[in-house]
Amino acid sequence: MSEYALEIDGLHHRYGETKVLDNVNLRILPGQIVAIVGPSGCGKSTLLKAILGTHPPTEGKIFADGIPVTGPTRNVGIVYQNYSLYDFLTAEKNVAFGLKLDETSLFGRTVLFPKYLKKKREHLRKAREFLDQVGLEHACGKYPGEMSGGMKQRVAVAQAFIMKPKIVLLDEPFGALDEAMREELQMMLLKFYQENLIAKREGRRPNYTILMVTHELNEAIYVADRVIGMSRFHTEGDQGATIVYDRPSPVFRPEDPRDFSKFIEQREELRRAVFDEDYIKDRNKYVTFWNDLSKLAEDQSMLKANTGSAGVVGPSP
């Protein structure tokens, strides 16, 4: 197992003569939930497609759990805004579908039928387990036509995670949902994060490593433990967009009040650093995640030494 769930080294992307991404470098730890924000058209989806392996970058290397990404694999999953569900399959069958494709063949499903039946039962059992994780234990037998947008999107999330990917990409996953459903899905991510923390405490690999594009700054700060901003508003912006913001963000538990006033400062910092086209700065000015992280760790151990408890809210490495 690699130290990083995802590693991107010197990634550049051009569409023909058009320079889109310029020297993107990024390392993500297992169990992190990272949000990406940036002006429309700056290349966020292009970056996700490169990580997914469907659209290789013009230049640069990508590793998922230390393994070079050269095409789509089980290591990297994705959830799109528009549900990728089959209307003629129930929720549990939709979730089990990826496993079926991956772990059985036509030969296995016909000639070795009894063996296949056993496997099928196993896949459906796992599917129910993952539907339970996304709060849909009651909806296993429902068809997409019988589910709300929020439920369908949660099925899509279960569909991605059942494959045990090293990282899951979410491209504006809640953009099509109304506010209440959006909140429900945000809660789900907060719950995932708490499960990650428990896994890490118990020395297990966390299940949920997520890189999520969103256009909502509040959502980014609220659900992620780290926010990344991409834009061209830096001194070498004519070469393409790059990561111009990379900082930790506060961690909320599902039961904490949804108090967005707590992060007004970070939101304003993000707005300026990533979205203000008049504010052209050194591209690395706000790319301080790893420094911020070691400072947080220092403060935390000081606090522990002084009070015997870890009371700082922040990402845990």
Ligand X SMILES: Nc1ncnc2c1ncn2[C@@H]1O[C@H](COP(=O)(O)OP(=O)(O)O)[C@@H](O)[C@H]1O
* Contact residues: ligand X, CB under 6 A: 15, 20, 38, 40-46
CA dihedral (163, 189, 271, 28) in degrees, to 10, reads: -40
46 binds, among Mg ion, ligand X, none (CB under 5 to 8 A by kind): ligand X
Nearest approach in angstroms of CB 38 to ligand X is 6
Which residues pair with residue 196 across a beta bridge?
Answer: none
CA dihedral (121, 126, 130, 136) in degrees, to 10, reads: 30
Q: Does 81 bind Mg ion (CB under 5 A)?
A: no
Distance CA 282, CA 36 (A): 19
Residue among 133 and 242 whose Cβ is closer to Mg ion: 242
34 binds, among ligand X, Mg ion, none (CB under 5 to 8 A by kind): none
173 binds, among Mg ion, ligand X, none (CB under 5 to 8 A by kind): none
Q: How far is CA 298 from the centre of its chain?
A: 27
Distance CA 306, CA 233 (A): 42
Distance CA 245, CA 243 (A): 6
Nearest approach in angstroms of CB 300 to ligand X is 34
25 binds, among ligand X, Mg ion, none (CB under 5 to 8 A by kind): none
Q: Does 45 bind Mg ion (CB under 5 A)?
A: yes
Nearest approach in angstroms of CB 231 to ligand X is 9
Residue among 196 and 214 whose Cβ is closer to Mg ion: 214
Residue 46 carries which side chain, given as an amino acid letter?
T
CB distance 36 to 213 below 8 Å: yes
Nearest approach in angstroms of CB 109 to ligand X is 36
Q: Using CB under 5 A, list all residues that contact Mg ion.
A: 44-45
